[in-house]
Amino acid sequence: MTALGQGWIIGGVGERAAKDALFQGLAEVAKALASGRRAEIVDLLAQGERSVEEIAGELGQSVANTSHHLRAMARAGLLTTRRQGTRIFYALASDRVAELWAAMRDVAVDHVAGIERLAGAYLGHRDGVEVIGREELAARLDRDEVVVLDVRPGAEYTAGHIAGARSVPVAELRRQIRALPKTTDVVAYCRGPFCVYADDAVRELNRKGFRARRLVDGFPEWKRAGLPVAVGNGESDDD
């Protein structure tokens, strides 16, 4: 074998190892999301920053177990952290992380057998829950033809919401329902297409005689579509 041939083999082995290492590094992102709990964390943090304790409460898990998942995701570059006193807060590293989660979710819906059945078991029958698309809702908001309810927890509304929406957490809907005008259509939205809050709100509103629908997905999708959003006290967020 010539020296040139030997060099080609050595170089080829080196290139193969480097390529393997590169793709393994890229796959670390998928590995960091390879858990239902971690996917749920991304879905939650797509609504805004939360403390470890708040995330643990949402997951129904211990703080120690939740911290383990959060640290693994942070090491993979998916999350950022900040400390406030003794509390640690986590947030998505960028909007691209939320886009990655949405793409994974949509691929699963389209290609993984049984997802529709699992969604039905969680959300219940949606026969009486009508939906409205983002563009139609945006147009009706512009014409002041609809009342929009953000039925997520109040902290998520403060972090960011559809411009013009009212904060009515689903747990408070029955108490606040009398203040809603029955002559105007109502649209409820929450975290995304698999968020049960909006479905529950629409069912309750329909029972009380309102014309109610749910947004086809949720606030993160509305924001990624570049539609009007607001933060805190309702001032527009142009970022």
> What backbone phi and psi angles, to 5 degrees, belong to 98?
-65, -35
For residue 14, the Cα-to-chain-centroid distance in whole angstroms is: 41
Strand 87-92 with 79-84, pairing: antiparallel
CA pair distance 231, 229, nearest whole angstrom = 7
- 69's enclosing H/E stretch is helix 63-75
Residue tagged active-site, from 32, 190, 205, 212: 190
Closest CA to 55 of 68, 41, 42: 41
CA pair distance 99, 101, nearest whole angstrom = 5
End-to-end CA distance of the chain, in Å? 62
For residue 146, which amino acid is it? V
Residue 176: count other Cβ atoms within 10 Å of its Cβ: 13
- 235's enclosing H/E stretch is strand 235-236
The length of the chain in residues reads 239
195 is catalytic: no
Catalytic residues: 190
